[in-house]
Amino acid sequence: RITLSHQHGKFNPKFRDNLHTRKAFFCFWIYSSIFTISALGIPLNLLVLLVFLLHQKKCNSTEIYLSNLAAADLFLVVLMCFWGIYVANDHHWTFGGPMCTFVSLLLVMNYNCSIYFLVLVSIDRFFALVYPLKQCILRRRKYAMLGCFLVWCLGLLLNIQILMCRKAIPYNGTEEYVCGWNCSDSVYYAHEVIQTIMAFIIPLLIILFCTVKIVHTLTRRLSNRNSTQQTEHKATILVLTVLLAFFICWLPFSITRMIELGVRINLIENTCSIWLHLYICRILFLYFGFFNSALNPVLYVIVGKNFRKKIREVGRGQGSMRVSETRITTSINSAL
């Protein structure tokens, strides 16, 4: 689920009463956050995609992963507009049942795909720096594109429950609808467990392993760097910055979701006060996480020196045919 404005897909009157005095503030805050993120994220991620697509030099493996990450961020911020209207309408869904399923599925799916694109780019940097002699085989463009295709498929597979259970449900027998969970509690718990393990714990462990090895290798090579290694290091610094931003934005939400799951399975005492605090934290941290989709393109521009150069070349209509012979013969990561 995207919000906790209802429990198990059905509104809890006592829970809503406890939130009534805060309702106007949170609705305004959520509505403003959603459209601010969308207003920033849509043009910025479009810029990233256009730079990668219009530049005549083919994307290397790292750029393929980052362009797919930008596509996932773009889909997410576009679909957030529907959710913003939903919040502005006091959680009354007006777009029909299929759109409820479609929007809910793609919001969570694109979040899942984002973290796995970061897993791929971490593995890519790991082989580029730790095992540089193997990069010609393991970092080919066709394998990068295949990896991205498999990530999109995995994102869909992880959210089959949403496809089956997220529906437009009549609210208290009225003609108004909420976009809620329409399956049993056990199915919802299973989905939350899958999301916690597959979309947080496993990717986190892989990224942490790769990052530790990358940082260790960078530290060891600081005193002995040639031009190719310097290019690899620039690309890696950008990747590490994007990884750090992702986890700063999404870690609070993931921890809150694990605490909520503990409350639901009675590992933590279930009280109205706890639900109130979980509701507030999940709202705040969810949209803080969504802000990452607008932040990534800014990081590319600020940290990625070669990405800025690529923007200038696209703006001047330059491409691979007008790039000097020296640039063409550099490392495949020189674009970053």
Report the distance separating Cα 25 and Cα 269, nearest Å: 28
pLDDT at res. 58: 82
Enclosing H/E stretch for 181: strand 177-181
Residue 167, SS3?
strand
pTM for this model (two decimals):
0.82
Q: Which residues is 7 bridged to in the sheet?
A: 10
What are the residue ranges in the chain where pLDDT is below 50? 1-11, 13-15, 320-336
pLDDT at res. 99: 94
Please state which CATH number belongs to domain 13-219+226-328. Answer: 1.20.1070.10
pLDDT at res. 216: 85
Annotated domain spans of the chain: 13-219+226-328
pLDDT at res. 321: 39
Task: Report residue 287 as tokens.
Answer: 């949209």
